[in-house]
Amino acid sequence: MGTLSERILGASAGEYVDRAVDRAYVHDGTGVLTLEAWKSMGAKRIQGAAHLHVFFDHIVPANNSTTATLQHELRAFACGSFFRFSDIGGGICHQLMSEGVVLPNEIIVGADSHSCTLGAFGAFATGIGATDMAAIWMTGETWFRVPESIGIHLSGAFTGAAEAKDLALTYVSRLGMDGTSYQSLEFIGKGAGVLPMDDRLTLCNLAVETGAKAGMFYADDITVQYLAAAGHTVQTQEPEPCRYIREIDFDLTDIVPVIAVPPRVDTVKTVPDLAGLPVDQVFVGTCTNGRYSDLARFARIVKGKKVAVRTIVVPASRAVLDTAIRTGVLMDLVEAGCTIGTPGCGPCLGAHMGVLGEGEVCLSTANRNFRNRMGVGGEIYLSSVATAAASALEGEITEPEVS
Amino acid sequence: MQGKGRAVCIGEDIDTDLVIAGRYLRTKDHSVWVAHVFEDLDPSLASRMNGAVIVAGKNFGCGSSREQAAIAIRESGVVAVVAPSFARIFFRNAINVGLPLIECDIICTEGSPVTFDLTEGWVEAEKKKYPTRPLSAKMQEILTAGGLVNYRRTHE
């Protein structure tokens, strides 16, 4: 009995528990501090390195010698301590964890706020900081406060040009940037059961933008089939009677293409409300919308045409890039004038490549549009892949056509 | 745990990009973060951090999990941060690096004295005493130890 969070953490909402984690991961951004904290703790060894991952995704390849030196130290430590290590070009931590690593019922922590993405598999997955992670490297466990849960009932199916990202931005605007602090979102109902894994990952990814600790789907036949393709045999999770502190309904049929306007993810307008706004750069990628299905959707819209503004496409992982090459999607993108980046986070956090200049506007498929995030004086509008593609062709915000 | 400082008042939903921008993260040199703390919010804030109690609006520290945000604030000499609510990753990070957080909605003017006692559970500003939400037992232990690194050094 209980919510998915209560069942996985084995305690009731509001209780504090110490739990061993099934998998824990850092990236080049948070791993450096984690290693420093771990050394400061006086730890002599790593607890369970087979379940600890280090991914290089934030600044890849290194942008200067300072970054390169920090990455060199972390790489040497990770390899020497038998961590599971993914070097530059492998892809985004959350994406790689979603490619047949995370399984239902697991407790997953990542030193990155968007670790909640992996709740799409019916796992309890949440973000933590570097020092918390260092203690996990040392002991294999951490403490949790079991979150209260909000039931998000989905019904119907997407129509027109709307996609999961539009629903994600819509629910963030409904709940607000701190609307679900310390709580967990559970996506339930018939509308949830028909969504493919890629859509579930996008929806769970944005959970943290409402302050949530986790965003979760129950593992069902779609999850089982997805993981079977990666060689895992898993069981579905059946919902049980439980107490949600709040329940919200979304009919997918009503979802329309929307855009989050800077500097808040919860300030959303419909695409027609912003139509004609000139953009300087379009960015397609990230842990929100950098999967193969996203690249393919973008390519379908721009194929045989030319983008009107600089357009950066960054596959979320090497597997995504590989598939895009084999299917011809990558060629369609290149021929349309897109610039292809190394699999990873790309310009999302404004530290490396694709940085905006003063007064420039970027339409991005990422998850954050905070002030100056992609460069001092630059503005970030967040949209779906289809809206990004239609807008790239026109050089201004443009409503996507119904495909 | 007691403390006092002068209020530096800032707004709500202050994200960790505003506390320390992504362009300053690639270093282990804490002085870089101290020099640029809150730069994109208000470049004059960094010089007013020493001895300050930051009085913020709701949802302080939302966004990225970057622990550099909590470190930058603590090492700037900030005594504590008071806000009606904090984003959860920042909350853990701050306690883990030994920065006291006080969950409370207080009203005070810039520069006015703020005193607090986390053990007794109150914060006082402009002659008004507010009860504060207590930290969990584990977080109190971590904060009292000066952060999770010290806690781990002494608990293993």
For chain B, the domains span: 2-155
Q: Is A403 within the bounds of a domain?
A: no
| CATH (domain of A83) | 3.30.499.10
Are A279 and A387 in the same domain?
yes
Question: Which residues on B lie below 8 Å from A30 (Cβ)?
Answer: 65-67
- The predicted pLDDT at position A1 comes to 83
Mean pLDDT confidence for A34-39: 96
Residue A33 to residue B67, Cβ atoms within 8 A: yes
Size of interface A-B (CB pairs under 8 A): 125
pLDDT of residue B156: 60
**Are A101 and A181 within one domain?**
no
CA distance readout (Å), A74 to A25, A78, A115, A286, A305: 13, 6, 20, 23, 43
| Contact list, B23 vs chain A (CB under 8 Å) | 350-351
In degrees and rounded to multiples of 5, residue B144 shows phi and psi of -65, -35
Smallest CA–CA distance from B152 into chain A, residue: A41
Position A357 in a domain: yes
For residues A39 and A138, state if they share a domain.
yes
**Are A105 and A22 within one domain?**
yes
- For CA atoms B73, A287, A330, A306, the dihedral sign is negative
Q: Residue A386's domain spans which residues?
A: 258-394
Query: Quick one: average pLDDT of A224-236?
Result: 98
Kindly state whether residues A223 and A319 are assigned to the same domain. Answer: no
With cut-offs at 50, 70 and 90, classify the pLDDT of residue A351: confident
Note whether A116 and A212 are same-domain residues: no
Residue A403's pLDDT is 66
Render pLDDT for A41-100 as a digit per residue (tens, 0 to 9): 998 889 889 999 999 999 999 999 999 999 999 999 999 999 999 999 999 999 999 999
pLDDT at A29: 94
| Cβ under 8 Å to A: B residues 22-51 | 22-23, 25-28, 40
| A399, part of any domain | no
What percentage of residues in chain A have a pLDDT greater than 70? 100
Query: How close, in Å, is residue B83 to chain A by CA atoms?
Result: 13
Please report residues of B whose CB lies closer than 8 A to that of A135.
148, 152
Min Cα distance B113 → chain A (Å) is 28
Residue B67 in contact with partner chain A when CB distance is under 8 A: yes
Stretches where chain B sits below pLDDT 70 are 156
For range A328-339, the mean pLDDT: 98
Q: Does B88 touch chain A (CB under 8 A)?
A: yes
Q: Is A42 near chain B, with CB under 8 Å?
A: yes
* pLDDT tens per residue, range A250-276: 999 999 999 999 999 999 999 999 999
CA B37/CA A112 separation, integer angstroms:
20
The pLDDT score that the predictor gives to residue A43 is 87
- Domain-located, residue A193: yes
Q: Are residues A191 and A266 in the same domain?
A: no
At residue B155, the pLDDT reads 82
Residue with tokens 């819509």: A170
> Which residue from A minimizes the CA distance to B153?
A41
What's the pLDDT at A57? 98
Q: Which amino acid is present at A398?
A: T
Q: Does domain B2-155 have CATH number 3.30.70.330?
A: no
Q: Which of B26, B28, B152 is the closest to A59 by Cβ?
A: B26
| Confidence at residue A402, expressed as pLDDT on a 0 to 100 scale | 84
**A401 within domain boundaries:** no
A313: in domain:
yes
Same domain, A36 and A157: no
Same domain, A243 and A270: no
- Mean pLDDT confidence for A14-31: 97
| A82 part of a folded domain | yes
Structural domain includes residue A402 = no
Mean pLDDT of chain A: 97
Residue B138: which H helix or E strand, with range? Answer: helix B137-144
Report pLDDT digits (tens) over A105-161: 999 999 999 999 999 999 999 999 999 999 999 999 999 999 999 999 999 999 999
How many domains does chain A fold into?
Answer: 3
Q: Which of residues 357-376 of A touch B (CB under 8 A)?
A: 368, 370-373, 376
Is the pLDDT assigned to residue A344 strictly greater than 80?
Answer: yes
Interchain contact, B22 vs A350, CB within 8 Å: yes
Same domain, A27 and A64: yes
